[in-house]
Each structure stands twice: as structure tokens, then as C-alpha cells.
Chain A
Amino acid sequence: MRISIRTADSDVEGHMAQRTTPPEWSTGKSPLRHGDVPFRAGTIMLASAVVLLVFAIAWMLYTSSQEARTAFGWDLLFGSAWNPVQTELNPISFGGWPAVRGTLLSACIALIIAAPLAIGIGIYLAELCPISLRTPLSFLVELLAAVPSVIYGVWGVFVFIPFFNTAFATPVSESIGTFLPWFAGPIATGRGLLVTGVILALMILPTIASLTRDVLRLVPNTQREAMLAIGATRWETIWLAVIPYSRAGIIGAIMLGLGRALGETMAATMLVGNTQRISGSLFAPATTAASLVANELTNSVSSLHESALIAVAFALFGITLFLNFGARLLIWYVERNTRGGRS
């Protein structure tokens, strides 16, 4: 075959070799690729299993809570009376608001306490800690995340609550609590949302701290050097260059911590007091969605009771899903506003 290549200032002519049979790499039947198809199919199956599982859980929660939802509707979420058994004074009703409110409040308290501490720990581990200390300290922080929640619960009941009562709850309720209803007394057992929030904070602290450390380590050194070279101090370098660069990752770390705080069952059950009553005071016994379900599902008195508990679980599922979705949006927004210009 004769071919010619024409360029601006020259013509090149040449011959291209002729072949009668196509070479083996162009027959479309390469034996090398036989593994690709099952591998691809296998990974697709595994990936779709995750999606299916989420939908299966949602569907199960939805159908099993049907009975309670038709009977009570939105009262399941916003009603505040929870009476599984009929008495002379109280008709049967299932209002999940104390539980939903308890969940949101205790998780918020946990986040407010844990986020700044954990970010501080993450910054220390990633930026300031001597290298020889970095690995053992990181290991200890991660170990904290591996402690089973029942142990946090036990520690909370026997060590933290007595300490908290004498050192914080009693003096605060007698001073600030006299005019600020959040901190009003009396302190009875010491169980309540604030104690739960503090222990939850301890539990999510290592998660946020180690993730923060990881995202800070991902910040390219060139960014730190750029900042140092214009005469910034260590603090300015971290605050103005390293943290802004990893903002999205840090928010993600906090959101993962929030997810854990919302769903935490064991420690919450042991510390929150399990009382279906809404009190203005954070020192008063309360309940959370997860601990309500865990406490009552095994000894539910009627199918309606069971269905109502599943409805509360459904609400918890919805809240975590919604917050995770919101976190994704936030991360996406922050990323677009810090890195979006990279095109």
C-alpha cells in the first residue's frame, strides 16, 4: 500500500507492509482477557449488594412500622406521650419525640465537646508531634476507638457519673441552674442527656481525631513551605494554609463522628436514664431513639408497641441518612469553593 503524508513544507511517501492474515492481537479473541468478565461481574455484584442492603433495611422498617404509622401518623415522631399499656388515666399512645429529641440533643452535645478537642489532637499528631511520638500516640488514639461501648457505659456509670455529680452537676444546678432551666436540678441519679453527651464525646473523639490527622497528613508539603517562606509562624502555617486546604476532609471526619453519636445504643442506654419524659434540664433523665428501641423491643407488650418501636427505628434511620446526605452536600460545597478552581 502506498501512503503519502503531506505536511506544510514537505511530502513524504512510503510503503506500508501488506498482510493477508490479521495479527493475533487484532482477532478480538485474546485469551488474556478471560478473567476480566467474571472479575467485573463479581465486583458489580458486591457493589450492588451494598445498595440492595440499604433498600432492604429501609423497606423492612417501612413495612413493619405500617401498623403504628396508620394508627398514630406523625404523632409517632412529634407526640410526647409514650404509653404502651392502657391505664385509667392514660390511653395507649406512642409519641417518639422524647426519644428523637434525646438523640439529637445528646449527639449535638457530644459534637460540641468532641469536635474542637479532636481537631486539636489531630493537629498535634499531624503537625506538631515529634516523629518518635507520632506512631505510639496515634496508636493509642485509635485504641480508644476500639474500646467496646459497653465499657464506656460501665465506666460512665461507676466512675464518671459520681464525679460529674459532685464536681459539675450539683454546683452548676445550684448556681446557674437557678435561672437557666437547661441546668436546673434536682440531680437524682445523675443520669441524663448531658452525661450521655459527654461520654458520647469521648467515644467519637478518637474517630474524628484520627481522621483529622489523616487528612492533614495529605496536605502537600509544598503548601506548608509556601506559607513558611513568606514568613509565617508555625501557627499561621497550620491555621491559614493546612486547615483551609483540608477543610472538606475535617468536616467529613466530624460528620462520621456525628453518625456514630446518633446511633450509639449501649452507652446511651446505660447513661441516659431511659425516661419517656421531656424535661427542660439536661441533668434530668431522658431517652434516645436507639436506647428506647433496644430497651423495649424484646419485651414489647403488643404488636402495635413493636410496630411503634420499629417506627422510631425508622425515624433514626431517616435522621442518620438525612444528616449523612447533608454532610455530603456540605463537603461537596466546601470542596467546590476551595479546590473548584483547579481546572
Chain B
Amino acid sequence: MEHAMTLTRGIGFGDLVAQRTKISQLSVATENKIEMLHFGFHYGAFKAVHDVTMAMPTNRVTAIIGPSGCGKSTLLRSINRMHDATEGAHAEGILRLDAMNVYDAAVDSVLLRRRVGMVFQRPNPFQLSIFENVAYGLRVLGIRHRGTLAERVEQSLRRAALWDEVKDRLHSSFGTALSGGQQQRLCIARTIATNPEVILMDEPCSALDPIASLKIEDLIYDLREQFTIVIVTHNMQQAARVSDFTAFMLMNREKRYGELIESGPTDQLFTKPHDKRTEDYISGQFG
């Protein structure tokens, strides 16, 4: 009974196959990169996320929206196990990446994070040159060859649409000396340099001005060719602009935990939401 309920709340994996054909602009059919089955997350005794069942398709942008405190960041960070160092944090249910449960005891979180990169809310470049900021991840992977490093750094900076702005000062300027928007693109370059399969973005534009935000959004749109992207945003317009799928989360007032209200293709969720609460939220009557 409960199982059936959650599946209608989230997208069932069967539903997703049907939905693929509806998204006309996406020509290639796609698999689910990430699947969550009754997934929940606790900080000690406090339950932050309750019973999420949803899927994030390969090479698509999935947006998680919802008001502050609804657990969307917690959910995002549980995908690459960023909570591992937090005492008392633990997951329940299943979170699968390519059909492998991420919370399986055999999964090494370091190797997991090499496949699932992350871009944070505030740009967090290292206090190093622009070149080293991007090269750091490669060095961690054990790449030492100078030619390879230079090539991968250039490639990543080009992919992050930052190359032309910084190519003359790769070694002379600090990453921290760039503008906020440039810093965020540098962080994206650092993330894609290590060639992950999934990129998680935790409100990547919330510290940026509108023009810098638009540049990042363009970039996200381009990047999905190569990566599966999951983006948390409190900006509904942004979710509507960049994402293919959207999940709406809300805090359960009684139980004080975040739960998934519904998820589905972005155009459908924004135009014909199934749940009254989703409708209230996207029409601005809530949160």
C-alpha cells in the first residue's frame, strides 16, 4: 500500500520509460543514472529526508526545487556521500548509481566522488593559480605528466567557457582573484577535469549576479551532453530553464522532515502538476 503510494508520488521507473517519448527535443533514449528507492537520510536522531523514490536519467539535467529547509541539499549531498565525515549521519533505503547501491559497505566514497563531482553554493577555488586549481583534481588522480595536465586543464577551461577570459594569466593569477561568476566556472572546470559521470550542483548561482548566473545556466545546458547533472535550486525559473526533469520537495510540518512531493519532466511539472502543493509552490502561493 505504502509502496504504491510512493511510486505515484515519485516517478516510477516504468513511468519514466513512457515519459521519454514525451520529451520531443531529446532524441536519444536514456537510462537512469541514479535511482532512489525509499531513500531517507538522518543526522543522528534527526531525520532530514524521508522516503524518496525517484530517478535521475543519464545525460539529463534533473532539478530539485523546494523551499529552504526541505532537505534538497541533504538529498543532493547524499548522492556522493559528502556527509560521510559528519558524525551520526546515515542513510536508509537504497540510492543506486548505475545499479550499484552507493551506501553499500563495499563502496569506497573516494572512488565514488571521482565519478560524482560536485559544485558548491559558494565558489570555493583553492588559493592557487588558475592552472593549479584545475590541475589539482588531476594530480589527485595521479596524473603527473606536464603535457597531459596542460592539455586537460585547457580542455576543461574551454568546456567551462572560461578559457578565453583566463588563458593569458593561467599561472600568474590566483583562482581566488577572479570574479564570483568566473570562480564558479573555474570550480566547474575543476570538477569536469577529473571527468566524472555525474555533476551535482548545490545552488550554484545563488552567490552570483543575474548575468553570471545565465552564463552558468548556458554551461549546464551544454554540459549535459557529456554528464548527468543534478542541480538544487531555490529559483524556479532557473529550474524551468535548465532542467529536463524536476523534483519538488517540501518539509512535512508534522514530522519535520523533508519529503518528495512529486517529480517528473520539467514542462509537465510546471504546467500540469499532480499535487496541489506543487501547484501552490510554483504559482507562488507558498514558501
> Which residues of A line the B interface, CB within 8 A?
130-131, 220, 222-223, 225-234, 236, 240-241, 244-245, 338-343
Query: Closest CB of chain A to B264's CB: distance in Å?
Result: 28
Question: CB distance B137 to A231 under 8 Å?
Answer: yes
B20 at the interface (CB under 8 A from A): no
Known A341-B174, A343-B177; contact A229-B113, beta-carbon cutoff 8 A: yes
Known A230-B117, A230-B136, A343-B177; contact A338-B127, beta-carbon cutoff 8 A: yes
Residue of A nearest to B84 (CB): A228
B30 at the interface (CB under 8 A from A): no
> Which residues of B line the A interface, CB within 8 A?
80, 82, 85, 87, 110-111, 113-114, 117-118, 120, 122, 124-128, 136-137, 140-141, 173-177, 187, 190-191, 194
Which A residues lie within 8 Å of B82 (CB)?
225, 228-229
Number of A-B contacts (CB under 8 A): 76
**Cα distance A195–B277 when bound, in Å?**
74
Which B residues lie within 8 Å of A245 (CB)?
126-127
**Cα distance A227–B136 when bound, in Å?**
9
Residue of A nearest to B194 (CB): A230
Which of B136, B173, B174, B194 is close to A240, meaning CB atoms less than 8 Å apart? Answer: B136
**Cα distance A222–B136 when bound, in Å?**
15
Known A240-B136, A342-B174, A342-B177; contact A225-B120, beta-carbon cutoff 8 A: yes
A226, A227, A230, A236 interface centre (most CB from chain B within 10 Å) = A230
A231, A233, A245, A343 interface centre (most CB from chain B within 10 Å) = A231
Known A228-B113, A229-B117, A230-B140; contact A341-B127, beta-carbon cutoff 8 A: yes
Question: CB distance B114 to A231 under 8 Å?
Answer: yes
**Cα distance A342–B137 when bound, in Å?**
21
**Cα distance A245–B191 when bound, in Å?**
20
**Cα distance A244–B127 when bound, in Å?**
8
Residue of A nearest to B116 (CB): A229
Known A223-B124, A339-B127, A341-B127; contact A230-B177, beta-carbon cutoff 8 A: no
